[in-house]
Structure 1
Amino acid sequence: MGKKRKRDVELVILSDIHLGTYGCHAEDLLRYLKTIRPKKLILNGDIIDMWQFSKRYWPKSHMQVVKHITGLLAKNTKIIYLTGNHDEMLRKFANFRIGSFQIDNKVVLRLNGKRAWIFHGDVFDVTMQYSKWLAKLGAIGYDTLILINTLVNWIMVKLGREKISLSKRVKDSVKSAVKFINDFEVTAADIAIENQYDYVVCGHIHHPEMKKITTEKGEVIYLNSGDWIENLTSLEYDAGQWRIYRYSEDAQAQAVKLPKRLNENLDNDKIFKGLVNEFLNLKK
């Protein structure tokens, strides 16, 4: 049988991939990317986790994600990289453009006559505003929880049980976490309504969502692309319709075969040379 045809998608939005961390599902993301042909791809922050980046951990699969994304430029895909808090170092390069690639902090797109306001969303995070070191400490704790979760799920699978998400259970059971998510969504919606946007699209909180929010001032469609740590989700816009893509529901992507040994860690020289080469490819 021949290769299955890739899906053409007008717009794909990915956020919170966190390349360079143990929790990143790079291989699953690769499988998904190999099944789509996006006309425009927006990387909405926290793509490479520069807070926790370590030369001791950068598997081949993480480099393959970078290579695949940059390779899309040669296939006429426009790529917009919007900065987040974990890759905030790139904010100094806002308004940088090379060919079909650009770096910005936010972007407004026109989709079928409607305006979509897209940004990462960390500007609404009170922890980020008042205590960055506390936010970074929380990120380390979160990554540690993901590591523990990986071990727990390995045991669950061996026992023939379903996988679980410890961090999701913690979030769902802690009222303050739920309130934070609700406040985040309402704040984003309020500002979007005031500026007469039809859609407001964020990442940051690792909570995929698509819903209408109505206030006294009007209404807006709030969307969140989720993450590739716990939920393995993205946003897709095509033929005038939005949808939340969920890897767990995509049998075609899960069946994609990848080269063996992608979990092998690259040495320092290969990490550096690989990232430099991909940057240079942007200029071609």
Structure 2
Amino acid sequence: MKRRKIELAVISDVHLGTYGCHADELIAYLNSIQPKKLILNGDIIDIWQFSKRYFPPSHLKVLRKIIGMASKGTEVYYITGNHDEMLRKFSDTSMGNFKIMNKLVLNLDGKKAWIFHGDVFDVSIQNAKWLAKLGGYGYDLLILINSFVNWWLVRLGREKYSLSKRIKNSVKSAVKYIDNFEKTAADLAIENEYDYVICGHIHQPKKEHYENKYGSCTYLNSGDWVENLTALEYSFKRWRIYHYNHDRLSPFFVDEDLKEMDMDELIASITDKEVDMEEVNDDFFIDDTPSEDSNEPKQNHKSLDNQGLTQD
């Protein structure tokens, strides 16, 4: 089966190491595409909920697949999120085609794309991380219960049902939080003169054009691989949302060129590289002066002070 050649693919919120992760479906998707750039926009590995007792082979295969894509020429950018925030100490580390960073700015056919996970907007994470972590465990438990419910629904010949989506859509504060998140991201992108702002974090895939009195931009969210099984794709100067449940091609799981690798070998292949362990500045709105081959804008001193979202 021929793979689709695309300019750019963005995935986020995979949550490897949790019960809700759909690793097999993600492998099938990654094996169906051949992107020039692959953006991993945060929460790929769920370090918050990581347990030695649960990390299935399919989850390890996702990591092997991503490393294999990088070894074959795909530029892979791992943008850190809140669930994998421990990797922020490795920010600006490059290992061949694999790069770790906190944010990314790309020039796409003359337009600037601003890409970051989005947890910087979440005041529950900034001010009460323990509460956010507790919520993460609760969400994972809800997804596990939902999987049993859907198993019975399928046996009864009925459609699957999402408990978390039902809760999100029925609770006014959750709906308001999502609306505020999207508006804040779009307003800041317009203020900083970006054409696209691309986030993850809220597990809500979306593509929408935003306008205010200062200008306009396109807000995009890559969704997740827990509930929605979505990705963003950029080709021919256009963005689209890929929905695995609707857009999937014939499953293509086998990668003959990808060598078998156990966990120890995988860790060794990463840690054998020299990395800078120094903590980095997490200010998302102050950019260093770009290098000659960088597409990032010059220094910008706008900050997120007083821009945090509130949840009623």
TM over 0.5: yes
- Give structure 2 stretches of 5+ with no counterpart: 256-261, 275-312
Assess if the C-alpha contact under 8 Å between 1:66 and 1:278 holds in 2.
no
Look up the SS of the partner of 1:188 in the other structure.
Answer: helix
Assess if the C-alpha contact under 8 Å between 1:101 and 1:282 holds in 2.
no
Q: Distance between the aligned counterparts of 2:122 and 2:21, measured in 1? A: 22
**In 2 relative to 1, CA 159–278 (structure 1 residues): closer, same or farther, beyond 3 Å?**
farther
Assess if the C-alpha contact under 8 Å between 1:78 and 1:100 holds in 2.
yes
Match of 1:250 in 2: 247
Number of residue pairs the alignment of both structures matches: 268
Tell me the alpha carbon deviations over residues 26-71 of structure 1, each in whole angstroms, 9 at most, x when there is no partner.
Answer: 0000111110011100100000000000010010000000000000
Q: Does 2:213 match 1:216? A: yes
Q: After the TM superposition, which segments of 4 or more aligned residues of structure 1 sit over 6 Å from their partners?
A: none
Q: Write the letter of the residue equivalent to 1:279.
A: I
Tell me the alpha carbon deviations over residues 167-189 of structure 1, each in whole angstroms, 9 at most, x when there is no partner.
Answer: 01110111110100000001111
Assess if the C-alpha contact under 8 Å between 1:232 and 1:246 holds in 2.
yes
Q: Distance between the aligned counterparts of 1:154 and 1:16, measured in 2? A: 23
Q: Distance between the aligned counterparts of 2:98 and 2:252, measured in 1? A: 27
Question: Counting helix residues as a fraction of each chain, which structure ranks higher?
Answer: 1
For residues 205-244 of structure 1, what are the structure 2 equivalents within 5 Å? 205-244=202-241
Q: Distance between the aligned counterparts of 1:79 and 1:180, measured in 2? A: 31
Q: Write the letter of the residue equivalent to 2:252.
A: V
Q: Does 2:82 match 1:85? A: yes
Q: Does 2:92 match 1:95? A: yes
Identity of aligned residues (%): 59
Q: Distance between the aligned counterparts of 1:137 and 1:251, measured in 2? A: 34
Aligned-pair distance for 1:251?
A: 3.9
Look up the SS of the partner of 1:226 in the other structure.
Answer: coil
Tell me the alpha carbon deviations over residues 170-223 of structure 1, each in whole angstroms, 9 at most, x when there is no partner.
Answer: 101111101000000011111111110000000000000000111121111000
Q: Write the letter of the residue equivalent to 1:275.
A: L
Q: Distance between the aligned counterparts of 2:243 and 2:220, measured in 1? A: 14
Q: Write the letter of the residue equivalent to 2:20.
A: G
For residues 146-161 of structure 1, what are the structure 2 equivalents within 5 Å? 146-161=143-158
Aligned-pair distance for 1:280?
A: 5.7
TM-score (normalised: structure 2): 0.83
TM-score (normalised: structure 1): 0.91
Tell me the alpha carbon deviations over residues 94-131 of structure 1, each in whole angstroms, 9 at most, x when there is no partner.
Answer: 11112211110001000000000000000001111110
| 1:178 aligned to which of 172, 175, 180 | 175
